A and B are shown apart, each in its own frame.
Chain A
Amino acid sequence: MKYVDEFRDGALAQGLARAIAQAVKPGRVYRFMEFCGGHTHAIARYGVPDLLPANVHLIHGPGCPVCVLPIGRIDQAIRLALAEKVILCTYADTLRVPASGGMTLLRARARGADVRMVYAVSDALAIARANPTREVVFFAIGFETTTPPTAVAIRTAAAEGLANFSVLCCHVLTPPAILSILDAPAVRGLGGVRLDGFIGPAHVSTVIGSRPYEYFAEEYRKPVVIAGFEPLDVMQAILMLVRQVNAGRAEVENEFTRAVTRDGNTKAQALVAEVFELRKTFEWRGLGTVPYSALKIRAAYAQFDAEQRFALSYTPVADNKACECGAILRGVRRPTDCKLFGTVCTPDTPMGSCMVSSEGACAAHYTYGRHQDITVVA
């Protein structure tokens, strides 16, 4: 595959592995958080840790849209599907996230709810056009990458007068989540987790640009290297981070220059700003309530806001007590630190959200990396 295989080249990977091995100082440990689930997935799928020196640790961050959805939001979607009998459209992994009382959207479907998996929000619009007598709700999740298409869909629905279409908006923002991690006591030294830098988001950064990360580099003295989602991108970013740490620098560097600029996609930003505004506060799974960390639909488009149309109230629901998803999403714990991991919680029967999506830290480790946890007797 042209323009893809080049970024997965084994020989180049070996070269980068050697460069990283030469760059690291033997006496110190480097702890980098990859914020995005896309990176988590790539790291696990291509076996990147096998190519890293033992003193370079990768810590999974909260950038998996499905993982950070709190139970209360899934409950809202299930209520819409079961009680309000809407056609509920959403992206695939969302269907499997556990909600209250052992329910998931998939189980709601088995009980008669009309829940449909879509690949794009435009599919949900098409379903609304084809079913004018039914209410169609798009359960919108994701970071800044998936937000512009939702904005376009709402504008399209307004322009067409598509009265049966609405959006349950659970779009969240990357910078406040990073801030929340940096401000968490655990990261500041009280709980023992230290971060030496961030591998910055790929697709999110194409939209928001590299500028928003400058604050973290300056204020928190944390180097950020924005990296693409291919394994060579990740390796290159690690090398750049190691060099920054060694030199005592804390800057925003851009490894993903083929797609990311400092200002990002200003057209997309304008679209998002026209349709959405900041929520004062939003509950995240793992991070708790984070101020100004999510979007809601502006009053001008209120008729397309499912929360208003169906007068939905939000009830927070606590995670299973034994589930460590919260600590794992903050980078404080690793998947294998959780008692449920690989026992009652597996990708087939997930208890926590990190085990649901292939971008989740637990699912990625279970699916691709659990051979590392066990000494194989040959």
Chain B
Amino acid sequence: MSSQIKPGYARPLDLKQGRVELAHGGGGRAMVQLVAELFARHLGNDLLAQGNDGAVLPEPGGRLVVATDSHVVSPLFFPGGDIGCLAVHGTVNDVAVMGGEPRYIAAGFILEEGFPLADLARIVASMAAAARRAGVKLVAGDTKVVERGKGDGVFITTTGVGVLPPGLALSGDCARPGDVVFLSGPIGEHGMAILSVRENLGFDAPILSDTAPLNGLTAAMLASGAHLRLMRDPTRGGLAATLNEIAQQSGVGIHIDETAIPIRPAVAAGCELLGLDPLNLANEGRLVAVCAPEDADRLLAAMRTHPLGAEAALIGEVVADKQRFVQMRTRFGGRRMVDWLAGEQLPRIC
């Protein structure tokens, strides 16, 4: 009589009803199965398939730029995106605005016991789609599981690696008086999308997060040959924080014009309703660029040829100011400071 035992058989993961269990982070067969049937299924590639403790990458052919970003957004799924694509875009964009061509990402997952596997599969599939769109490979990953109540579903940390073109040196301290300041598109959509789905704050018309990979846009900007001083993505703290960072780092002032800053009516209306300043709202698919004044037209034209820069605008200029103030000419005709956000406007936005 032959044995009923099927050597090497394991019941497949129940991706419909199943939930994350402590065993999925325990280092045993359950963890291997989760990696194989869920993570590798969506994110697999030749480098990840090496299956070692670390990925061995080919000779990059240039200086490397590395960025890392942890994602704790609540809710995990929001209009226009989810924590999966956000975790890819966040890191890709940090590499891209440094002028790097993003190539690889590594991801660490902290999962909460009891989290539905179906939701995890959606998140991982979304990461895979985002990585394909951005042209990056996930080459290393890690999964830990914490007890129920000790996490909030999923936290994802990603690290991105990109390659810098020879000679390029973008940096936050490079803005000079006379330089011009560009914004790639309308502000506040990510922050308002998150707000709109939070408890008791539903809007009738959905506002979608702008989460998107910026490396296509930055490549087009670099290819224009314009003399770029720096690029930066205005995420938490919004445009206001990013401009203040630049002013601080470069030791300059920045003057912007409110009427030049693109903003969708729905975002403006949401801010009005909630008493928020759109300049403080987070963006996940926008960038600020500072460039030499003589190249302004060339850079703007290059930005507008890319879909993510179609609404790009020149919003202001860099001035000499020992106080390093960011000031704005208001729509109303007055002038005011644009300051850092004090405290927190929204909890857990990215």
Contacts and interface: CB of A to CB of B under 8 A. Distances in A.
Nearest to A52: B334
**A contact patch SS:** helix
Given A96-B343, A119-B201, A371 B272 contact: no
Given A368-B339, A371-B325, A377 B333 contact: no
A45 interface: yes
Interface stretch (B27-35, B63-71, B315-323): B315-323
Interface in B298-350: 319-323, 325, 327, 329-337, 339, 342-343
Given A119-B201, A378-B319, A378-B320, A50 B342 contact: no
Interface in A48-80: 48-51
Interface in B239-286: 253, 259, 265, 268-269, 272, 274-275
A47 interface: yes
Contacts, number: 89
B33 to A, nearest CB: 38
A306 B269 CA distance: 36
A44 B339 CA distance: 12
Contacts of A366: 339
A13 interface: yes
Which of the four size classes fits the interface of chain A? Answer: 35 or more
Contacts of A10: 259, 331-333
A371 B254 CA distance: 12
A347 B200 contact: no
Contact of A376 (B253, B268, B269): B253
Interface string A210-249: 0000000000000000000001100000000000000000
A308 interface: no
Contacts of A376: 253, 321-323, 325
Nearest to B323: A374
A377 B323 CA distance: 9
Nearest to B343: A96
Interface in A15-71: 17, 44-51
Given A348-B343, A368-B339, A369-B336, A47 B330 contact: yes
B330 A371 contact: no
A50 B334 contact: yes
Contacts of B268: 1
A370 B26 CA distance: 55
Contacts of A232: 332
* Max chain B Cβ within 10 angstroms of own Cβ: one of A9, A14, A46, A370: A46
B335 A8 contact: no
28 contacts: A1-B269, A1-B272, A4-B269, A9-B332, A10-B331, A13-B333, A17-B333, A45-B330, A45-B336, A46-B334, A46-B336, A48-B332, A49-B334, A50-B333, A50-B334, A96-B343, A231-B332, A347-B342, A348-B342, A363-B342, A367-B337, A367-B342, A368-B336, A370-B337, A374-B323, A376-B323, A376-B325, A377-B322
Given A45-B330, A46-B332, A47-B336, 15 more contacts: A1-B272, A8-B332, A13-B333, A17-B333, A47-B329, A47-B333, A50-B334, A347-B342, A358-B275, A368-B339, A370-B337, A371-B325, A371-B336, A376-B253, A378-B321
Interface of A: 1, 4, 8-10, 13-14, 17, 44-51, 96, 119-120, 123, 126, 231-232, 346-348, 358, 363, 366-371, 374, 376-378
CB-based closest 10 A-B pairs:
A47-B334, A347-B342, A50-B334, A46-B332, A368-B336, A10-B333, A47-B336, A367-B339, A47-B335, A231-B332
